[in-house]
Structure 1
Amino acid sequence: MNKRYLMKAVACIWLMTMLSITGCGQKAATEGNTETQTQTEEERVDTGFVVTNPDSYDSADTAVLVDINEIDKTVTLLNLDLCRRYTLSMDGTTRFGDKYGKAISLDQLQEGDIVDVTFLKTQKHLTSMQLAQAAWQYDNVERYELNAVRHEVSIGGETYKLSEDTQYFSQGHSIEEIDLNPSDILTFHGIDSTVLSVIVEKGHGYLRLVNDENFVGGWLEIGQTQIVRITEDMLVTVPEGSYQVDISRSGGGGTKYVVINRNEETTLDIGDLEIAEAKYGMVLFSMSPADAELYIDGSQVDPSQPVSLEYGIHQIIAKADGYKSLTQYLRVGQESAGVDVQLDKVDSDSEESTENSSSAGSSSTGTASGSTSATTDTTTTYYRVHIDAPENVEVYLDGNYVGISPCSFKKTSGSHVITLRKSGYETRSYTVQVDDEQKDVSYSFVDLTVSSQTSK
């Protein structure tokens, strides 16, 4: 009997021991799991980093693309509503597209484009950028009229506004409206009736003649459209490109070829050209209307009689009441020639004096070439335009030498090109709109920058 109780006691002790061990194991496991969970939670620290994907964005905008920095992998944009700039980063997840959503590369976008963008504002990360669907674009425009006073530009018969926030670009760099030259070929971007950006597709350089003493007073033809009278120390603004240049005076001269690079000065030596013995041709003009006044090289002549003109190029201006004035150029190269000059009547909504670049009619013994400008400005006798800064630089007005700054010249209302030059520095030109108010005008421009060729 005692033996039976002893075995039961041993069994109970063994059972209690096993339960105790099992409980300790479960507690240890629970404590271990709790410790691991606590450790994992401690490792999950919020770093603020968000993994981006092609659909990650919280903001959208239509803006002007101001800068592309491929080294820093950023783009700078101009918001159209607030007119503020902001910069976004881009990476391999950023998508680029044309205005129809078709995928393109970043290289196919440029400063001045109007774009629709999506981005993560908190991360300043660009999600997508494509050409704006609401924007219009005029590419490589040669014929336009910029009016700096009215802040307007006329393109193809349509007039668009230029705002204070319109952006201007040349070779990927921001410039000012005043840096544009009437000879520049431009691309315009805008929305509705406002121009938002202007890109210089083809800029301008400068042409200087050397050893030109024998040809002062003669004529310089650059390509097919630009004709200027040769003056002392002239510096002509020319669209960049390759040109045939014809130099003539008193029937002499010759042909040269030049390459004009953007913002660079090119010199052309014409000292080897010969001056021929003066020859003259008789030119008979047929005027319509018959009472029109005729001026040749600034002097009035009687068009009812044959006019003796020296071989070469001559400027003719015809005027009549109720008709548009005509300014063009005539080349005399034969003993006799006949030229028809016909004026157009003034429309009720147009000005009397307009530019006409068409050629005048001529017989087989004479030729006429197109004009590049019309004489419509009014010159005052007292009021002057002053160039105050930068100092000690050469100043040219429409290609003609004025003097060393500070200097001044007679005030002539209208659009003019002021060119600043100094040896060792980059030549700069500015297009200014001179008013017709009875007072002096002063201009101060930024200092010229050292030429890159000089700094090397």
Structure 2
Amino acid sequence: MKENRENKPVLKYLAVLLSLVLTGCGTIGLAQESTFESAYENGKEEEPAAPAYTSASRGVLISINTEDRSFVIHRTAEGDDIVLNYTGATVVQDQYESPLTMEQLSAGEILDVTYDSESGRAGDIAISGDAFCYEGLSRCRIDEGKGTLETGSETLHISNQTRVFSEGREIGINEILNLDTVTVRGIGHDVSSIVIEKGHGYLSLKDADALLGGWIEVGQAVISQITQEMLLTVPEGSYQVRLTAGDVDETREVTIKRNEENVLDLGDIELKVPVNGQVSLVISPSTATVRIDDVTVNAAYAVRLPFGIHQITASADGYDTVSEYFEVTGENTRVKLTLGRAAEEDTVSGNSTKEEETQAHTVTIKAPEDVEVYQDNLYMGISPVTYDKTVGTHTISLRKSGYQTKSYQIEVTDDDRDLVYSFPDLEKNINENIDASNTVSGNSVKNQTGSTVSGNTNTVSGNETTASQDTA
């Protein structure tokens, strides 16, 4: 009993000490927890504020880069190009507010875009509900000088702000031919973009000497007389080609692809011994009416006549009529006539005087040099080349082996000027060993190298395809 009483003070001391220790640990733990929470609150990162889409622009979509999620628009009001980026939060809609993906948009669309000018991030992208869109237009008449595009039922305005696209790439507006099928978009009566939906390719003839003076029909798209070194510009598509000359009436099948050339090989056509020959006419002025054996002919094309003697007569207002005889003795005959100015009565003296003959005005294709030049499918020569000027809309095609054939449309007006055109250099084919043409024989189309050749692999800049025109 005594031993137990002696131990009680010790036990009380230990109990008090343990209580103090436990109380202190709790205080320390609370202090540490409070300090940790305070440090966390003071040091944690704040989430960035959402961008403010305070900028808005309307423009033509130039291109989309899905890899870095960016796109380029040409702002019509500002007249410049701007690069913006998009995210998963960017809202993309059509003109009816239905959702779209960026991949569903295409070059030439007119877009209304809101974006943050500092970050360049787009918030909303929508096809403009104010824009018009005319699809499937063909035979459009474009006059760059007047700044007009005629659809047949409406006259629209074009300018240097109008962007033109072919297969997603920009080209010059003078690369649009009136046989192309296009989509035209704009606001009001102003054209913002033109997209070539169906372009053109080329068809040339091989071993066609025996058919010269005959006719070639490419479906309903092209009908032309067969001439030396001709190059036909044809809308892309599949066609039956009909060739007629004398007793020959042959049919071939061809497929024309955009910017590619097909060569129609006619060496397999069997011909009878010729009893006629081709006659090429060189008449000045070119506006003269020409008759051979009392039959009116088009002097721009060669004619095929039976062997023997024939009479040719040429007449034009203000010129003396000329009539001569010529003989066709072989395959090729050339007839040249130059009409002199008609004599006019001098009202002062009463004497007849001869007005000084004036020369016809000309068109010169100056550049690029050393290329074959064709106007409206007819071979004009190797550049630089000069020929008589004829009023109207014309297609100029430039061709050189190993290079991509290009065509441009020009508008020649009735004025007292000589015209000089300089076009961009032709672009080389990707593989210089490949001739970008297909040989068509019989009813089959085959590439000469056995490889697929695309004339569309060259990048075309809209700034490089505008022909410069000098006037003399």
- Say whether the fold is shared (TM-score over 0.5): yes
In structure 2, the CA distance between the partners of 1:102 and 1:274, relative to structure 1 (3 Å rule), is same
Shift of the 95–301 alpha-carbon distance from structure 1 to 2, 3 Å rule, reads same
Aligned to 2:419: 441
| CA displacement at 1:121 relative to structure 2 | 2.4
Residue 186 of structure 2: aligned partner: 190
Query: Cα deviations across residues 7-52 of structure 1 (Å, max 9, x unaligned)?
Result: xxxxxxx9xxx8xx98999799669746764565355378xx5557
Which position in structure 1 is the counterpart of 2:369?
Answer: 391
Change (3 A) 1:151 1:208: same
In structure 2, the partner of 1:429 is 407
For 1:64 and 1:155, the matched residues in 2 are separated by 21
Match of 2:160, SS state, is strand
Residue pair 2:373, 2:397 contacting (<8 A) in 1 also = yes
Confirm or deny that 1:71 pairs with 2:67: yes
CA distance in 2, matches of 1:453, 1:202: 25
- Residues 381 and 272 of structure 1, relative CA distance in 2, 3 Å threshold: farther
Superposed, 1:58-207 pairs within 5 Å as 58-207=54-203
Of structures 1 and 2, the one scoring higher in RCO (CA 8 A, sep 6+) is: 2
- CA positional deviation for 1:400: 1.2
Aligned: 1:41 with 2:42: yes
- Residue 379 of structure 2 is matched in structure 1 by 401
3-state DSSP of counterpart to 1:138 = strand
Q: Is the 8 A contact 1:252 1:276 kept in 2?
A: no
Quick one: structure 1 residues 260 and 453, their matched pair in 2 at CA, closer, same or farther if it must change by over 3 Å? farther
Counterpart for residue 367 of structure 1? none
User: What is the CA–CA distance in structure 1 between the aligned matches of 2:227 and 2:36, rounded to whole Å?
Assistant: 94
- TM-score, normalised relative to structure 2: 0.66
CA positional deviation for 1:409 = 1.7
Structure 2: gaps (5+ residues)? 1-15, 277-287, 300-357, 435-472
1:264 to 260, 264, 271: 260
1:403-440 Cα offsets, whole Å, 9 max, x none, are 22222222223211111111111111111112333222
- Provide the secondary structure at the position in 2 that maps to 1:214: helix
Q: How far 1:315 moved relative to its partner?
A: 7.0
Distance 1:315 1:390, change over 3 A: closer
Residue-by-residue CA offset, 1:225-245 (whole Å, 9 max, x unaligned): 421111101111100011111
Q: For 2:60, give the aligned amino acid.
A: V
SS at match of 2:216: strand
- Distance change >3 Å, CA 444–CA 58, structure 1 → 2: same
With 255-264 and 413-422 compared, the bigger mean Cα shift is at 413-422
Q: Identity of aligned pairs, percent? A: 35
CA distance in 1 between counterparts of 2:289 and 2:196 reads 35
Q: Distance in 2 between matches of 1:381 and 1:220?
A: 34
**Cα deviation 1:194-237 (Å, max 9, x = unaligned):** 11100000000000000000111221111114211111011111
Query: Secondary structure of the equivalent of 1:452?
Result: coil
Contact 2:139 2:178 in 1 (8 A): no
Count of residue correspondences: 352
Aligned counterparts, 1:215-230, within 5 A? 215-230=211-226
Task: Check the 8 A contact 2:60/2:75 in 1, yes or no.
Answer: yes
Contact kept? 1:253, 1:274, Cα under 8 Å:
no
The answer to whether the 8 A contact 1:250-1:279 is kept is: no
User: What is the aligned counterpart of 1:253 among 249, 254, 258?
Assistant: 249
Q: State how far apart, in whole Å, the 2-side matches of 1:36 and 1:389 are.
A: 78
User: In the alignment, which residue of structure 2 is the partner of 1:324?
Assistant: none
Please list the CA deviations of residues 131-151 of structure 1 after superposition, one character each: whole Å capped at 9, or x if unmatched. 110011111112422222211
In the alignment, does 2:432 pair up with 1:454? yes
CA-atom RMSD, angstroms? 3.4
Shift of residue 104 of structure 1? 2.4
Mapped to 2, the partners of 1:450 and 1:431 lie a distance apart of 21
Instruction: Show CA shifts across 1:287-338 (max 9, x none).
Output: xxxxxxxxxx964599xxxx889xxxx879xxxxxxxxxxxxxxxxxxxxxx
Q: Quick one: which amino acid aligns to residue 389 of structure 2?
A: K
Alignment of 1:339-418 (within 5 A): 381-418=359-396
Q: Quickly say closer, same or farther: Cα 1:72–1:278, change in 2 above 3 A.
A: same
TM-score normalized by structure 1? 0.68
What residue ranges of structure 1 are gaps of 5+ in the alignment? 1-13, 281-296, 317-379
Tell whether the 8 Å contact from 1:162 to 1:196 is kept in structure 2 after alignment. Answer: yes
Counterpart CA distance in 2 for 1:181 and 1:134 is: 28
What secondary structure does 2:96 align onto?
coil
CA distance in 2, matches of 1:388, 1:110: 36
Match of 2:432, SS?
A: helix
